[in-house]
Amino acid sequence: MVKAVVGANWGDEGKGKITDMLAKEADIIVRFQGGANAGHTIVNNYGKFALHTLPSGCFYGHTTSIIGNGVALNIPVLFKEIQDIVAKGVPMPKILVSDRAQMVMPYHVLFDQYEEERLGGKSFGSTKSGIAPFYSDKYAKIGFQVSELFDEELLKEKVVRVCETKNVTLEHLYHKPLLNPDELLETLHQYKEMVEPYVCDVSTYLWNAIKEGKEILLEGQLGTLKDPDHGIYPMVTSSSTLAAYGAIGAGIPPYEIKKIITVCKAYSSAVGAGAFVSEIFGDEADELRRRGGDGGEFGATTGRPRRMGWFDCVASKYGCRLQGATDVAFTVLDVLGYLDEIPVCVGYEIDGEVTTEFPTTAKLEKAKPVLKTLPGWKCDIRGIKNYEDLPENCRKYVEFIEEQIGFPITMVSNGPGRDDIIYR
């Protein structure tokens, strides 16, 4: 059976923890899109980790971790990540890399930095990991596929061709040092050496695994609102963050995805620029940020303080609908235990009219939150294992949100650890 774990909002919903938890029952975990630009924070018996490329299920001996064809693969980043977790006592994970995955090149990272620098105050809040230049090149058909590392003649010709076009931009737009084809070829030789033992025809491997009845998890990066088609364009990522793309980014039939676990936070947070209707500021935001997550709400990749807000029913209903949620995993509920009352955004007021449907970006910029306040539960709920044992106001909060978004909340996370979970 294939299950997808995806985000309903801006990313940072706690997908890593949910994947790590579900991976216990899985045979194979596949990353299907995105690159090393966002991180998943995992807390387990080996310690605390921020993963950027490795699937969040890599801590179990029985799982195979796959880098799908839809991923922006930064080979040195992947291998540094493997070395880091092994150095902390994690057994060497079994890893397969799709021969159709494309590689983030060193110049992609440079171009990302140069462009943000050039845009100045009008920048997209990029993590400068090379993601937009990588996907631009993929669709312009000048990217490097892993399989091409094994064709020396093709590489020799292609590095010259690619450097010619890149150098025009470097010289005339960015006024930066030019690329050298020989150095680039040498880099690609190093990449080949690193990745060779792991390269695999992933779609065939997965097809056979499905036929054998294996349990497969697709792990998405970021969330619905960062999708380039359905998100807050242009403040989005460059690859589709939706479960539907899991079929493409892993190379499996769409009808095989039977369960879509969509992760929602009990409040909102976002990294990077873009409209964020339920956002809060000042002391109120600082307090939530400090208590939030495990050790505070700071980006797993950038360390940037996350922007904070109350739960947004409009954005979350939309996020779950676009993902096709069969189950909602509701995370960090324990964090809200300090509040006397908890505001929830139940609608957007745009030009004097209230809507509960998520609008396009231009309208979103004008939206003001319509808030409803619910009573808090004023106690620590960590360690509770049964839903019935949660305080009444806590259950009412979960049920109110479930009713607003219209999708079943089947898991409630009440702590950072792998076992801090309540099944409903």
Active-site annotation holds for 286? no
- Distance separating the N- and C-terminal Cα atoms of the chain: 21
For the segment 186-194, the average pLDDT, to the nearest whole number, is: 98
Task: Give yes or no: residues 104 and 94 share one domain.
Answer: no
pLDDT tens sequence across 18-43: 988 899 999 999 999 999 877 777 88
Q: How many domains does the chain have?
A: 3
Asked which of 7-16, 285-294, 341-350 is least confident by mean pLDDT, the reply is 285-294
Let me know: does 53 contact 36? Beta carbons within 8 Å: yes
Q: What is residue 122's predicted lDDT score, i.e. its pLDDT?
A: 75
Q: What is residue 210's predicted lDDT score, i.e. its pLDDT?
A: 98
Q: Is residue 303 a known part of a binding site?
A: yes
Q: With pLDDT > 70 as the criterion, what percentage of the chain qualifies?
A: 98
- CA pair distance 111, 120, nearest whole angstrom: 14
Instruction: Give CA 111 to chain center in angstroms.
Output: 22
The CATH number of whichever domain residue 371 belongs to comes to 3.90.170.10
Let me know: does 220 contact 6? Beta carbons within 8 Å: yes
pLDDT tens sequence across 304-336: 788 999 999 999 999 999 999 999 999 999 999
Task: Give yes or no: residues 87 and 213 share one domain.
Answer: yes
For the segment 224-245, the average pLDDT, to the nearest whole number, is: 96
Q: Is residue 80 a known part of a binding site?
A: no
For the segment 157-179, the average pLDDT, to the nearest whole number, is: 97
What average pLDDT is seen over the chain? 94
The CATH number of whichever domain residue 127 belongs to comes to 1.10.300.10
Sign of CA dihedral 79, 82, 87, 92: negative
SS3 content of the chain, % helix, strand, coil (to 5): 40, 25, 35
Q: Is residue 122 a known part of a binding site?
A: no
Q: Is residue 128 a known part of a binding site?
A: no
Q: What is residue 236's predicted lDDT score, i.e. its pLDDT?
A: 92
Catalytic residue among 40, 52, 108, 230: 40
CA torsion, ordered 117, 123, 124, 128, to nearest 10 deg: 10
Q: What is residue 139's predicted lDDT score, i.e. its pLDDT?
A: 95
pLDDT tens sequence across 106-133: 999 999 999 989 988 777 767 788 999 9
The pLDDT confidence band at residue 274, using thresholds 50, 70 and 90, is confident
For the segment 335-351, the average pLDDT, to the nearest whole number, is: 97
pLDDT tens sequence across 37-92: 777 778 888 888 888 899 888 989 999 999 999 999 999 999 999 999 999 999 99
Task: Give yes or no: residues 212 and 269 share one domain.
Answer: no
Task: Give yes or no: residues 41 and 132 share one domain.
Answer: no
- CA pair distance 269, 267, nearest whole angstrom: 7
Pairing label, strands 94-98, 199-200 = parallel
Q: 167: Cβ–Cβ under 8 A, 6 or more apart, which residues?
A: 178, 179
Q: Is residue 201 a known part of a binding site?
A: no
Task: Give yes or no: residues 160 and 204 share one domain.
Answer: no
- From 219, 236, 259, give the residue that closes a domain: 259
Encoded tokens for 81: 């990540």
Q: Is residue 334 a known part of a binding site?
A: yes
Task: Give yes or no: residues 330 and 244 share one domain.
Answer: no
pLDDT tens sequence across 381-422: 999 999 999 999 999 999 999 999 999 999 999 998 888 999
The pLDDT confidence band at residue 301, using thresholds 50, 70 and 90, is low
Pairing label, strands 102-103, 72-73 = parallel
For the segment 136-163, the average pLDDT, to the nearest whole number, is: 97
- From 239, 259, 279, give the residue that closes a domain: 259
Query: Phi/psi of residue 241, each to 5°?
Result: -95, 10
For the segment 212-223, the average pLDDT, to the nearest whole number, is: 96
For the segment 191-203, the average pLDDT, to the nearest whole number, is: 97
- CA pair distance 379, 207, nearest whole angstrom: 48
- From 243, 259, 275, give the residue that closes a domain: 259
Least Cα distance to 343 among 415, 277, 274 occurs for 277
Quote the DSSP letter at residue 166.
H
The CATH number of whichever domain residue 242 belongs to comes to 3.40.440.10
Task: Give yes or no: residues 51 and 121 share one domain.
Answer: no
Task: Give yes or no: residues 36 and 153 share one domain.
Answer: no
Active-site annotation holds for 12? yes
Structural domain that includes position 127: 100-193
Asked which of 158-167, 230-239, 297-306, 330-339 is least confident by mean pLDDT, the reply is 297-306
Task: Give yes or no: residues 157 and 73 share one domain.
Answer: no
Q: Which residue has the tokens 């620098």?
A: 117
Q: What is residue 57's predicted lDDT score, i.e. its pLDDT?
A: 83
Task: Give yes or no: residues 240 and 281 share one domain.
Answer: no
Task: Give yes or no: residues 73 and 210 share one domain.
Answer: yes
Whole-model pTM?
A: 0.93
Which element (helix H / strand E) includes 260? strand 257-265
Task: Give yes or no: residues 108 and 26 share one domain.
Answer: no
pLDDT surpasses 90 at 264: yes
